Amino acid sequence: MSINSTSSEKFNRLENILIIGNGGRENSLAWAIQKNELVKKVYLIPGNAGSERLNKCERIKIDIKNTKDLVEKLNFLKIDLIVIGPEVPLANGLADVLRKNNFKVFGPGKDGAKLEYSKSWAKKFMQEANIPTAKFWKVNSLEEAKEIIDSSSIPLVVKADGLASGKGVFIPDSKDECFKAAESIFNGKFGDSGNVLVLEEKIEGPEVSVFALCDGEKYILLPTAQDHKRLNEEDKGPNTGGMGAYSPAPLLTEDSLDIITKEIIEPTINELNKKNIDYRGVIYFGLMITKTGAKVIEYNCRFGDPECQTIMPLMDKDFVFLLEKCAMGKLTGYEKIDTNDKVSGCVIATSKGYPQAYKTGFPIKIGRIESNDCQIFDSGTSFNEKGELLTAGGRVLSIVCQEKNFDMVFEKAYKNLKEINFEGIYYRNDIGHQVRKKSSKEI
Interface region with ligand GLY, contact rule CB under 6 A, candidates 67-75, 96-104, 150-158, 301-309: 301-309
Query: Exactly one of 297, 322, 390, 409 binds ligand AMP (CB under 6 A); which one?
Result: 297
**Between 214 and 253, how does the x/- string for binding to ligand AMP read (CB under 6 A)?**
---------------x------------------------
State in angstroms the smallest separation of the CB of 202 from ligand AMP: 4
- C-beta of residue 28 within 8 angstroms of C-beta of residue 312: yes
Query: Exactly one of 21, 86, 242, 394 binds ligand GLY (CB under 6 A); which one?
Result: 242
CB-nearer residue toward ligand AMP: 47 or 394: 394
Quick one: what does residue 375 bind among ligand GLY, ligand AMP, none, with the CB cut-off 5 to 8 Å set by partner type? Answer: none
Question: Could you tell me if residue 408 is left (phi over 0), alpha (psi between -120 and 50 degrees) or otherwise beta?
Answer: alpha
Interface region with ligand GLY, contact rule CB under 6 A, candidates 111-119, 141-149, 302-310, 330-338: 302-310
Q: What is the CA radius of gyration of the chain?
A: 21
Task: Name, in order, each residue with C-beta under 8 angstroms of 207's C-beta and a sequence gap of 6 or more.
Answer: 226, 227, 229, 286, 287, 288, 289, 297
304 binds ligand GLY (CB under 6 A): yes
Task: Name, in order, each residue with C-beta under 8 angstroms of 176's C-beta and a sequence gap of 6 or more.
Answer: none
State in angstroms the smallest separation of the CB of 208 from ligand GLY: 11
116 binds ligand GLY (CB under 6 A): no
Interface region with ligand GLY, contact rule CB under 6 A, candidates 58-66, 137-145, 298-306, 314-322: 298-306
Within residues 129-188, the interface with ligand GLY by CB under 6 A covers 166
CA separation (Å) from 116 to 109, 129, 337, 342?
12, 17, 26, 31
CA separation (Å) from 388 to 261, 365, 422?
47, 9, 12
Q: Name the 3-class secondary structure at 372.
A: coil
State in angstroms the smallest separation of the CB of 213 from ligand AMP: 20
Interface region with ligand AMP, contact rule CB under 6 A, candidates 29-37, 199-207, 375-383, 428-436: 199-207
Parallel, antiparallel, or unpaired: how do β-strands 219-221 and 169-170 relate? unpaired
The footprint of ligand GLY on this chain (CB under 6 A) covers a number of residues equal to: 7
Q: Shortest CA distance to 377 belongs to which of 340, 348, 354?
A: 348
206 binds ligand AMP (CB under 6 A): no
Query: Exactly one of 207, 217, 235, 316 binds ligand AMP (CB under 6 A); which one?
Result: 207
**DSSP letter for each residue of 283-320:** EEEEEEEETTEEEEEEEESS--TTHHHHHGGGS-TTHH
The one-letter amino acid code at 76 reads F
Task: Name, in order, each residue with C-beta under 8 angstroms of 442's C-beta and a sequence gap of 6 or more.
Answer: none
Quick one: what does residue 235 bind among ligand AMP, ligand GLY, none, with the CB cut-off 5 to 8 Å set by partner type? Answer: none
Query: Exactly one of 96, 307, 403, 411 binds ligand GLY (CB under 6 A); which one?
Result: 307
Q: Shortest CA distance to 207 belongs to which of 225, 233, 186?
A: 225
CB-nearer residue toward ligand AMP: 202 or 359: 202
- C-beta of residue 269 within 8 angstroms of C-beta of residue 279: yes
169 binds ligand AMP (CB under 6 A): yes
The footprint of ligand AMP on this chain (CB under 6 A) covers a number of residues equal to: 13
Query: In this structure, what DSSP letter does residue 433 have?
Result: G
Parallel, antiparallel, or unpaired: how do β-strands 343-350 and 395-403 relate? antiparallel
Within residues 125-154, the interface with ligand AMP by CB under 6 A covers 134
State in angstroms the smallest separation of the CB of 304 from ligand AMP: 10
The greatest distance separating any two alpha carbons of the chain, rounded to the nearest whole angstrom, comes to 63
The footprint of ligand GLY (CB under 6 A) covers 166, 227, 242, 300, 304-305, 307
The footprint of ligand AMP (CB under 6 A) covers 134, 157, 166, 169, 171, 200, 202-203, 207, 229, 286, 297-298
